[in-house]
């Protein structure tokens, strides 16, 4: 196996690349905790792993497939291993990186559904601005919805996710910053016309995907 194939993947139809190995680590973690009798941890990792399988199924570009998997790994293992409690800034890290990694993926999913322009399409400045605005708005919205979930979860389920207004506002600021960074990265992606579908290694085309 040469270095290019090792990096870009398509090793086998089942395990394509290192991204799949990380995906399997999340799913394997779910199985491990299920066998160990920790249903809560198993459920968290199972949900995160399922999201990564959906991302694999829609054949995202490698960078954004990796973004989803890394984001779900941070969220899942961070919760299971208690990293939010052990490291004061871990919550800040997640609130910055998750919108940065996932907002572009949501945009690409909408592009695949022909709701918004595909990053691969020929575009102009006003379209780049539109891509940035929509992507940032998606990331900020996801962050806001998560804060609403934390607020209601504390009230209805007895959790202790929300630590007050300062914590919520700080999380929203970091969500917004992450979403803006993700939007800028997607504009750069669009500028080079790299598209919304996983490329075939060694070929400057993308794999066919039904509309």
Chain segment 24-38, per-residue pLDDT in tens: 999 999 999 999 998
In whole angstroms, how large is the CA radius of gyration of the chain? 18
Residue 19 to residue 23: CA distance in whole angstroms: 6
DSSP characters over 32-78: HHHHHT-HHHHHHHHHHHHHHHHHHHTT--HHHHHHHHHHHHHHHHH
Q: Does the model's pTM come out above 0.85?
A: no
pLDDT digits (tens, 9 = 90+) for 126-155: 889 999 999 999 999 989 998 898 788 778
Residue 161 to residue 168: CA distance in whole angstroms: 10
Residue 37 to residue 43: CA distance in whole angstroms: 11
């Amino acid at each position: 196996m040469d270095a290019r194939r090792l990096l870009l993947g398509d090793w086998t139809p089942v395990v394509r690349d290192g991204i799949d190995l990380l995906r399997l680590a999340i799913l394997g973690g779910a199985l491990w905790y299920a066998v160990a009798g920790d249903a809560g941890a198993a459920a968290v990792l199972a949900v995160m792993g399922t999201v990564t399988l959906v991302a694999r199924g829609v054949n995202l570009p490698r960078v954004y497939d990796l973004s989803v998997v890394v984001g779900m790994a941070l969220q899942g293992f961070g919760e299971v291993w208690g990293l939010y409690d052990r490291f004061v800034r871990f919550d800040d890290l997640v609130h910055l990186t998750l919108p940065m990694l996932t907002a572009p993926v949501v945009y690409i999913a909408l592009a695949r559904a022909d709701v918004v322009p595909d990053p691969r399409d020929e575009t102009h400045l006003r379209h780049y601005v539109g891509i940035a605005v929509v992507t940032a708005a998606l990331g900020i919205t996801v962050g806001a919805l998560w804060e609403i979930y934390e607020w209601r979860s504390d009230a209805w389920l007895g959790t202790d996710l929300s630590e007050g207004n300062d914590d919520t506002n700080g999380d929203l600021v970091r969500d917004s910053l992450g979403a803006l960074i993700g939007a800028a990265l997607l504009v750069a992606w669009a500028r080079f016309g790299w598209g919304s579908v996983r490329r075939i290694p060694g070929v400057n085309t993308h794999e066919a995907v039904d509309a």
